[in-house]
Amino acid sequence: MSSLAHERQKTAALARSLAVSQAAFYVYVSASKRTQARAANQP
């Protein structure tokens, strides 16, 4: 029983870290797009 709870905890931690990395990737991509757009707008 305790091993099942431990597995669930491990899975939750994995999902949380995955969500954090996805959010960081999204922020990075949007920031790079913004930078590229700014560079393209300059004469």
**Domain spans of the chain?**
1-43
- Give the pTM: 0.64
Percentage of residues in the chain having pLDDT higher than 90: 79
38 confidence band (pLDDT: 50, 70, 90): confident
Does residue 2 or residue 9 have the better pLDDT?
Answer: 9
Q: What is the mean pLDDT of the chain?
A: 93
In one letter, which amino acid is 38?
R
Instruction: List C-alpha distances in Å: 27 to 6, 30, 40, 43.
Output: 32, 5, 20, 27
pLDDT tens track for 11-31: 999 999 999 999 999 999 999
